[in-house]
Amino acid sequence: MALIKSVRGKTPRFGKNCYLAENATIAGDVVMGDDCSVWFQAVVRGDVHWIRIGDRVNIQDGAVIHCTYERAPTTIGNDVSIGHRAIVHGCTLHDRVLVGMGAIVMDHAVVEENVLIAAGAVVLEGMRLESGHIYAGVPARKVKALPEETFRDTVERIARNYIMYAGWFREPRSEE
């Protein structure tokens, strides 16, 4: 079972049908919507400020979601995928966002809906990423516009797939 810790009188709360890997850690003032998943070695730490997570969000292996004490909470919308070993810190991610593997999103950044952040990109403090685009690089720069169907095919498909993957880990094991 995942490590779920109360901190400063706040206990994480979860919506329906959430999957928490056995070595995931969720602590403090965290509220998570329905059909979410927190994967192996991922950390969601609402100890110094609050974290609000929408529906159908997957936080993949080794990712870290955190905040800055009394200055920068973290808000994550619906149908968001946080890639393996990504860091999302004290920022706002709107609906249908994909944060690529190893990417970093810093305090007070705002990522509008339908944005794809490439693997390894660094979104600097206070940046605003415009809806409908892919961002890449260090620091992250707008690379190109992406059509709406790309977001449905990529971002929404990944969010749906992670609900399916979570189901595989909930299935009872058969006797060998």
Q: Domain-by-domain residue ranges, the chain?
A: 3-170
Reported as a single tens digit per residue, the pLDDT across 41-99 is 999 999 999 999 999 999 999 999 999 999 999 999 999 999 999 999 999 999 999 99
What is the pLDDT, as a whole number, of residue 171?
Answer: 64
User: Does domain 3-170 match CATH 2.40.10.220?
Assistant: no
For 111-160, the pLDDT digits (tens) are 999 999 999 999 999 999 999 999 999 999 999 998 888 888 888 899 99
Residue 12 tokens, joined: 């994480």
Residue showing tokens 């498909």? 157
Secondary structure class of 155 (helix, strand, coil): helix
Residues 79 and 94: their CA atoms lie apart, in Å, by 9
The 10 Å Cβ neighbour count of residue 46 is 26
pTM across the whole model: 0.95
